[in-house]
Structure 1
Amino acid sequence: MRRKKRPVRRLKSSAGLRNNAEKRLERYRLGLSKGYEQGLKAGLDNYEAYFEGTSIIIPSDNEVESVKACIEGIMDHTDLAYEIIVIDNSSTDGIEHYLNQLDGQVRYRILPESIGFTGAANIGFMMAKGTSILLLNNRIQPTENWLENLLLCLNSDDSIGLVGPVSNGLSGKQRMEIHFDDLEDKHEYARVNNKSDSSKWHQTDRLSGCCLLFRRELLERVGYLDEGCQETPYYADDYGLRVKLQGSSLVYARDALVYFAEQAEERVERQMSQAGHPDSSLYFSNKWRGIDSVIFDMEASAYGRDEWFKGMSAESGAKLGESAFYPQHLAVKGLGETIYWIEDCVRRPINGQWGESVICLSQLDLWRWAMGEPVPAEALTAFKGFLGEDEALRDGMLCEDSNGSSYYLENGRKRAIISRLAAECWGLDAHRQMKLTDEELSVIPDGLPIIAPVKLLQAL
């Protein structure tokens, strides 16, 4: 029986091969596009979805061994829900290879260039997905119950803003003298010390920036670290002042002992504050030069919280957060191109050409003001011009007392300008200024003081 001949498969022409390749490439592009769209949608849908746990932010700068020890300590001594986020300042010590080997256990970002400790911390804050956030120096070595006790302290009272531990490497009230050479002995000592005890929680005027725990709500109210303060202790002192300005307290927990990996018994506070970093000191001094300690005595001073927020609903004041200490009747913008006019605690998009000054703020600062109706640029230009022609006291004018202190008039109140830096940052030094007697000023009710916005060296 003769078999049928199989049909001969002819080789396709080069044109046909090219056509098939183009079809495969097109299907690949289509699949890639669909996958990107689905991933983008999933990311946007979950952008504000936070988990009940703590985001631990660890900045680094050529400190891979310290980062390793810190991460291992967290994993060994933390049973609560957490995520670790490492932000590295363009290190060349192989940290990216190390972090990549952790198979997704740690979220990280390697920056193309160094932006300093506070800049890296701010990126970590932006990436954080936890309902609480902890800024951690990579030379801190966690111990048993460290995070549990810090969280217990933080959540014990809504008025607590920041919580810190005690350690051998810190200064002031947070320093605990420990004289063990063996790490196991140290951990045994910490295990005994770190039994939860609310009697060991104490208020303080300042906290170290090496380990700071706070709620997400505080970040939304107070905002990012000031990148004008790059060194210890200035960035932590600045943040502490801003937290206290809103009536929240700073607390250290002596039942949360952690260790600081010291070299030759150098304290971190002393080591990082040596000469050679004068800019942070000068910037901090210029920013807070006019602050008075009486401001923080909320019950006894004329700047009491109730008096400050009079005329503003409690809900509005809480939502505004630090933006309540920013002036109004000026133009601001965030990351986008839209310019907003701030008035009556809302931001109004400016329609038309705006040729006046614009203050750039972070998105956190901008979002606190509710969105209002658009306003024509022509109307605002007329308002700005009005200030220079009329001798009457009007919103947006500056007044000066006999001591040279300046006040900003806004909604029938005088707002003390904390420092010259605050006036310069908001462009208030260019406003029309009137000299008033102390008697004339005394009849104008006090409003919230005006502080300088945080300096950001990056877009956030």
Structure 2
Amino acid sequence: MAARIHVIVLHWGDPAVTASCLDSLRDLPESLAEVVVIDNGTPDRSGERLAESHARFTHLRHERNLGFAGGNNAAMRRALERGAEAVLLLNNDAELTPGALISLSAALEQPRVGLVNPKILHHDPPQTIWYAGGKHSLWAGHSRHRGRGESDQGQHDRAGEVTFVTGCALLIRREVLEQVGLFDESLFMYAEDLDLGLRARRAGWRLWYEPAATVLHREKVLRRKTVADPFRLRLATRNALRVNWRHASLPQRITFVPWFGLRWVLYLTVKNLLLGFPGDAAAVWRGVFDAVRGRTGSLESVH
């Protein structure tokens, strides 16, 4: 019998981190979930070692880095071909806690719920919130994680509809992918989750936050894509502009463009210059020019 849910883990980077993620999935019943590990073109071929240490799971490899969007899309197409009812995208630096997948899948039983996020806590320090629901405004071109950085005291334990879901740990109903499509691969990475959520909402699907499910995320509290990483900052800027412009109405474009210019472009330019990262400040502006010129795609096309 085919598994109801395909859990997709995209491997890139530290294999020890990915191994910890996979360890958290060992006890999932095979009748419920098939775990699919995608080696996204790692140059050290560390995916081969993961295939040996976690042989129970399905392991696939891309010969080149297809980005978050392309790497996950290939696995989602495979899941749909094999009759999966839903897919769970799980970052390789995230870990599923016991019972989380059951709680997430139960949320899909509600009318028109198409995409579901769990409560996501930092792995270290523990009990610190990374995501407890999300909100996006096309008027400001801005997404935010509710509760980010707060100590988890149960203050965000009410399930409910949200306007932004993160791809860090995201359960997606099959019918959503069939209706609105997969990730936009021209984005490569960053904002593909925002774009998919906006398309789903426009098609009448609800985005849902389910705090009964918990995931631990190994991203450092102080790590951000807004400093000390020009490439990520360039992509994040480009994609934020592209996705917001694509989905915004004319009145929303009139408000979000100046707001984005102040809150993102000017703020990050000044911030990175003051911190001594002129390359990062320049990356912000390169991202803006990439968006204006319509530059899309992979690592090679934006370097």
Q: What's the TM-score, normalizing by structure 1?
A: 0.45
State which of 79, 100, 103 in structure 2 corresponds to 1:146. 100
Query: How far is 1:275 from its partner?
Result: 4.0
1:65-144 alignment, distance < 5 Å: 65-76=16-27, 81-91=32-42, 92=44, 94-103=46-55, 105-128=56-79, 129=82, 130-144=84-98
Which residue in the other structure is 2:279 paired with? Answer: none
One-letter code aligned to 1:225 = F
Query: How far is 1:293 from its partner?
Result: 6.7
Query: How far is 1:61 from its partner?
Result: 1.1
Change in Cα spacing, 1:221 to 1:176, as seen in structure 2 (3 Å) is farther
| In 2, Cα distance between equivalents of 1:70 and 1:139 | 6
Secondary structure (helix, strand or coil) at the match of 2:101 reads helix
Query: How far is 1:77 from its partner?
Result: 6.0
| In 2, Cα distance between equivalents of 1:68 and 1:154 | 28
2:10 aligned with 1:59? yes
One-letter code aligned to 1:96 = E
Secondary structure (helix, strand or coil) at the match of 2:213 reads strand
One-letter code aligned to 2:181 = G
| In 2, Cα distance between equivalents of 1:76 and 1:178 | 28
Change in Cα spacing, 1:108 to 1:77, as seen in structure 2 (3 Å) is closer
Change in Cα spacing, 1:52 to 1:97, as seen in structure 2 (3 Å) is closer
| In 1, Cα distance between equivalents of 2:24 and 2:40 | 22
Residues 52-111 of structure 1 show CA distances to partners (whole Å, capped at 9, x for unaligned) of 5110011111331122111110123668610011111222153213313434x2112122
| In 1, Cα distance between equivalents of 2:45 and 2:88 | 25
Asked if 2 retains the 8 angstrom alpha-carbon contact of 1:167 and 1:175, the reply is no
Asked if 1 retains the 8 angstrom alpha-carbon contact of 2:166 and 2:193, the reply is yes
Residues 151-193 of structure 1 show CA distances to partners (whole Å, capped at 9, x for unaligned) of 1111122x111100111243412647458xxxxxxxxx9xxx8
| In 2, Cα distance between equivalents of 1:148 and 1:226 | 28
Highest RCO, 1 vs 2 (Cα 8 Å, sep ≥ 6): 2
2:217 aligned with 1:217? no
Query: How far is 1:282 from its partner?
Result: 2.2
Query: How far is 1:231 from its partner?
Result: 3.0
Residues 381-437 of structure 1 show CA distances to partners (whole Å, capped at 9, x for unaligned) of xxxxxxxxxxxxxxxxxxxxxxxxxxxxxxxxxxxxxxxxxxx99xxxxxxxxxxxx
Residues 9-64 of structure 1 show CA distances to partners (whole Å, capped at 9, x for unaligned) of xxxxxxxxxxxxxxxxxxxxxxxxxxxxxxxxxxxxxxxxx835110011111331
Which residue in the other structure is 2:146 paired with? Answer: 173
Asked if 2 retains the 8 angstrom alpha-carbon contact of 1:168 and 1:177, the reply is no
| In 2, Cα distance between equivalents of 1:127 and 1:292 | 32
| In 2, Cα distance between equivalents of 1:93 and 1:223 | 30
| RMSD value, Cα | 3.3
Change in Cα spacing, 1:139 to 1:229, as seen in structure 2 (3 Å) is same
One-letter code aligned to 1:154 = L
| In 1, Cα distance between equivalents of 2:194 and 2:40 | 23
Between the aligned residues of both structures, percent identity stands at: 24
1:199-348 alignment, distance < 5 Å: 200-232=158-190, 234-263=191-220, 265-266=221-222, 270-271=224-225, 275-277=230-232, 278-289=234-245, 291-292=247-248
Asked if 1 retains the 8 angstrom alpha-carbon contact of 2:188 and 2:297, the reply is no
Asked if 1 retains the 8 angstrom alpha-carbon contact of 2:198 and 2:247, the reply is no
Change in Cα spacing, 1:134 to 1:261, as seen in structure 2 (3 Å) is same
User: How many pairs were matched up?
Assistant: 230
Secondary structure (helix, strand or coil) at the match of 2:68 reads helix
| In 2, Cα distance between equivalents of 1:125 and 1:261 | 24
Higher gyration radius (CA) = 1
Change in Cα spacing, 1:209 to 1:224, as seen in structure 2 (3 Å) is same
Q: What's the TM-score, normalizing by structure 2?
A: 0.66
Asked if 2 retains the 8 angstrom alpha-carbon contact of 1:80 and 1:148, the reply is no
- Give the unaligned 5+ runs of structure 2: 123-129, 132-144, 252-292, 299-303
| In 2, Cα distance between equivalents of 1:178 and 1:138 | 24
| In 1, Cα distance between equivalents of 2:247 and 2:240 | 11
Query: How far is 1:292 from its partner?
Result: 3.9
